[in-house]
Chains A and B, each alone.
Chain A
Amino acid sequence: MRNVAIVGIGQTPVGELWEKSIRHLGHDAVVAAMHDAGIETADALYVGNMLSGELAGQEHLATLIADFVGLRGIEAAKVEAACASGAAALRVGVMAVASGQADVVIVAGVEKMTDTPIDETTAGLALAADQEYEVAEGATFVALNAMLMQRYMHEYGVSHRDFAPFPINAHANARNNPFAMFRSPITLDKYEKATVIAPPINILDSSPVCDGAAAVVLVPLERAREFGRHKRIVRVAASVTATDTIAIHDRRDPLFLEAAYLSSQRAYAQAGLGPEDIDLFELHDAFSIMSVLSLEACGFAPRGRGIELGQSGAITLGGKIPITTMGGLKARGHPVGATGIYQVVEAVQQLRGEAGANQLPHAHVAMTQNIGGSGATIITHILVGEE
């Protein structure tokens, strides 16, 4: 197997992008990544997307985007794994380059969610849950996460207000990210007074419905110097997918994200690293509770104490384990199938030293984690910056 490097990144702004169709979003991100890598062609394009058929009425998405960026003729395929579609596509791209099947691979994540009325988008997102035994009973995605948060508060005796540092940190970091959807800071007071959607979850616990696209270019590590003009090369040190039951009620312990545990443990083993080596963690903060459960399952805190990493400031840019350094799903935005690639693009910015005002002084090892459903597909990547 060959080592794989990321030599190009591109992203579109995240938001309600009514002037852009799904093909144009994909086009903009792919062209930006190709420009960043200094390439004019590629062997393959893999596109992570969850809802193009449901919300944009367009399947066969990767071939469409390949055509619209002038790459007609290359291999192209869409990869779907609910909200983890972006990282799932990256995993396919990594396997293609590592195995020697392809040398230059573009991986994009694309999602268009704001053309449709909100109840259609909500119903689309619920397709990631168990249709016969969760959705048929009236479950929504917010409701499933709300039940996890409620149980967490009950089991560990914490209050809703204890979760505030997570969205506050995300919004603070998005302020300096020109691609982020919400660039305004929020306060504890604003968090406590926010509209409740499904108690205890309120609007500021939740990532927004939005549009966006991001892309990366992968090549074999030994050829990385031929591409782009970046001082630091970013190596993919680990790429791991793990799964759990789709329905929360089928899990032995709903408050333990077993797929996050499995994928992070296998990723640590692949990279020869541990949680103590991770300089930043782009985690999947679709809801505040997910950040806490992810930090616990990945070994950054014992069970029931992940929430303390918020209160102590450990998750901030100056803390021990900075998360959502460019705004995360909460404030950069969560265009579902694109999110996994946004996370990687932002991690590469940090590792290259291109994160602007949010640049961490010692960013050598970054971890990204993309979650599909309420914890059913969890994909972890570890990226290492090399001189």
Chain B
Amino acid sequence: MHIARNWRVKHQRYSLTGEICHHCGAKVFPPRDVCPECTQPAYEPVRLSGLGEVYSFTTVYEAPTGFEAQAPYHLALIKLVEGPMLTAQLTDVDPNEVRIGMPVEMVTRKLSQEGDEGLIQYGYKFRPRIQAKAA
């Protein structure tokens, strides 16, 4: 089910590929071919760093179909260092640690599964930033 629908967004889901606007320099994610900042065309793909911080968050207890196995899970709005914001789950995180402003980084994880025999979708989630500690 929905194979083409998921295949089309593989670069966004697996490598956080957005676009760069050559008119104003804005980086755009999700890609939309039109810069949301200056409304000029923006077609050139650019891979985002995957670094950002939590803008807001919640916990989903009543999961929609396909996400039941993961519930409860943390959902967050992530502000990327390049500017765009996106919606993603938090993973590998202590529930008591989650806070607005927490630095996070992208990882690839299983997103959802359509039953026992259906498509398994993979994509980005975010975990507390480890790179920063090593630096």
Q: Are A150 and B56 in contact (CB under 8 A)?
A: yes
> Known: A151-B55, A154-B100. Is A138-B111 also a contact (CB below 8 A)?
yes
Q: Are A140 and B77 in contact (CB under 8 A)?
A: no
Q: Are A119 and B100 in contact (CB under 8 A)?
A: no
Q: Are B87 and A247 in contact (CB under 8 A)?
A: yes
Name B's interface SS.
Answer: strand
Q: Are A138 and B73 in contact (CB under 8 A)?
A: yes
Q: Are A134 and B87 in contact (CB under 8 A)?
A: yes
Counting CB contacts under 8 A, is B70 at the interface? yes
Q: In the complex, what distance in Å separates the CA atom of A118 from the CA atom of B12?
A: 31
Chain A proximity of B42: nearest CB distance (Å): 14
Q: Are A150 and B70 in contact (CB under 8 A)?
A: no
The residue that A137 contacts in the complex, of B55, B62, B84, B88, with Cβ under 8 A, is B88
> Known: A119-B64, A136-B111. Is A150-B58 also a contact (CB below 8 A)?
yes
Counting CB contacts under 8 A, is B75 at the interface? yes
> Known: A147-B56, A150-B57, A247-B87. Is A136-B123 also a contact (CB below 8 A)?
yes
Q: Are B77 and A147 in contact (CB under 8 A)?
A: yes
Task: Tell which of A118, A134, A140, A142 has the most Cβ of chain B within 10 Å.
Answer: A140
Q: In the complex, what distance in Å separates the CA atom of A245 from the CA atom of B62?
A: 25
> Known: A143-B60, A147-B75, A154-B56. Is A248-B100 also a contact (CB below 8 A)?
no
Counting CB contacts under 8 A, is A188 at the interface? no
The residue that A248 contacts in the complex, of B67, B77, B84, B112, with Cβ under 8 A, is B77
Counting CB contacts under 8 A, is B65 at the interface? yes
| Mask: chain B, 21-37; 1 = CB below 8 Å from A; 0 = not | 00000000010000010
Q: In the complex, what distance in Å separates the CA atom of A124 from the CA atom of B60?
A: 17
Chain A interface (Cβ within 8 Å of chain B)? 118-120, 122-123, 126, 132-140, 142-144, 146-148, 150-151, 154, 196-201, 245, 247-250, 254
Q: List 7 A-B contacts (CB under 8 A).
A: A137-B123, A147-B58, A147-B76, A151-B100, A198-B60, A249-B86, A249-B87
Given contacts A123-B64, A136-B123, 4 further A-B contacts (CB under 8 A): A132-B5, A142-B62, A151-B56, A154-B56
